Amino acid sequence: MTSIYEFKAKSLDNQEIDFNDYRGDVLLIVNTASHCGFTSQYAGLEELQKKFEGKGLKVLGFPCNQFGAQEPGDASTIANFCQKNYGVSFQMFDKVDVNGADAHPIYKFLTHSAPGLLGSEGIKWNFTKFLVNKKGEVVKRYAPTVTPDSLVSDIEKMMVD
């Protein structure tokens, strides 16, 4: 696979979403969890979505339960939590694995395209973020500790490219 546009994934409401529909958009893809020390980043991710809505940014959340079992709920529970607590309007996908043999193909692509510290492809924790340019190329990976508001400059650069 050479671009993000070659993938599909199921949304929380079980609809198959073709990533080709995001062609020409800047994407911020994040593995999320509802019971994590970084869960409050949902608010910052929603702020980014609102700030750049209509300007070509799409925030995409992928719930994951691989780190400390911090996303134990089913799709309905996750959707309700995100909406009730953070007003999440950005696209949320069905819960996935991001590491290992059962990792979703999108995450295999992301981690291979933008390895982490010391070249490691594995994701270390929830709220690891990947920035994808308008051509579908992964341009940067951010650690969970990197807050959404600190990504504004990088996102703005991708908007004009």
Beta bridge partners of 31: 62
Whether 64 sits among the annotated catalytic residues: the reply is no
Residue partners of 152: CB distance under 8 A and separation at least 6: 48, 51
What HEC string does 75-111 produce? HHHHHHHHHHHHCCCCEEECCCECCCCCECHHHHHHH
95, with CB counted inside 10 A (0-12, 13-18, 19+), is: buried
Residue whose C-alpha is closest to residue 129's, from 118, 117, 145: 145
> In this structure, are residues 104 and 111 in contact, taking their beta carbons and an 8 Å threshold?
no
Which one of 36, 57, 114, 151 is the catalytic residue? 36
Distances (CA, A) of 57 to 20, 30, 64, 125: 15, 13, 22, 24
Instruction: Report, as residue numbers or ranges, the catalytic residues.
Output: 36
